[in-house]
Amino acid sequence: MSELPGIVIAGASGRMGQMLIRSVLESDKMRLVGALERPGHDWVGRDVGEAMGGAPLGAAVFDDALEPMAQAQAVIDFTAPEATIALSHVAAQARAVHVIGTTGMTEAQIAQLEPASRHCAIVRAGNMSLGVNLLVQLTKQVAAALDEDFDIEVIEAHHHHKVDAPSGTALMLGEAAAEGRGVNLAKVRDAARDGITGARKRGDIGFSAIRGGDIVGEHDVLFSGPGERIVLRHMATDRALFAKGALKAALWAQDKAPGEYDMLDVLGLKG
């Protein structure tokens, strides 16, 4: 076996999956073992490179994770909640790092990852960019410094293909704001406003979602108080930055004990 960590990419045919495959191929620190797609997908059984419209790469697309994961040290997974939960069991069996960028997971679904985390390192984050994770820390600090005279609104924009709202990143920012204020986000979350909703409740943390065009990802955290506003902003212009963060997480976790981690751990921003 090569001394380089073997990587499996889940959701190979998607935009993020193909970006991750290209990023692994361009890296001199890891190797592509194989890729995963859902049963019945026309990529299954084909060489990854040929399926992407290029030259053969010597790595196949599988619809069963067991075979490629037996040869891998990590799987990078930007898929769907149920697929992620199923894949966590295989990663645990293989004792392979499971890097999860899947968004739209409920608290109950996230809890289903815990058994796997007893046997492998799981790195899960709603966003894997350095800038966003710095924004998370800043949001927590500003929320802690301001009282409830400042309304907090998380405003996010993404491309029109995105299926979940608010985005995973927006929820990360909302959690950071709630933590800064010492409250439970579930109890103060204000989202999906429509019609006669009544006045905003003091202390609530609001969410607004925009969907359109090919927006990669934009996130504002607005602190609106009497006579002044503070806006913290991050704008992503290239989804390659998410792939770069995911690869960094896969390498970082190679020597880590089983457990659940996030990008603040990877980037050394905890504390």
* Catalytic positions, written as ranges: 158, 162
Say how far apart CA 259 and CA 8 lie, in whole Å.
20
Grouping H, G, I as helix, E, B as strand and the rest as coil, residue 91 is helix
Other Cβ atoms less than 10 A from the Cβ of 269: the count is 14
Which is nearest to 249 in space by CA: 7, 1, 66, 25? 7
Contacts made by residues 260-268, CB under 8 angstroms, sequence distance 24+:
260/113, 260/114, 260/117, 260/122, 260/124, 261/121, 261/122, 261/123, 261/124, 262/123, 262/124, 262/125, 263/123, 263/125, 263/127, 263/128, 263/133, 264/133, 264/136, 264/137, 265/123, 266/123, 267/130, 267/133
Taking every pair of Cα atoms in the chain, the longest distance, rounded to a whole number of angstroms, is 63
Say how far apart CA 127 and CA 234 lie, in whole Å.
12
Cβ contacts of residue 176 below 8 Å, gap of 6+? 136, 137, 139, 140, 143
Contact 41, 65 (CB under 8 A): no
Distances in whole angstroms, Cα of residue 92 to Cα of each of 54, 64, 75, 77, 245: 33, 15, 11, 14, 22
Identity of the residue numbered 49: G
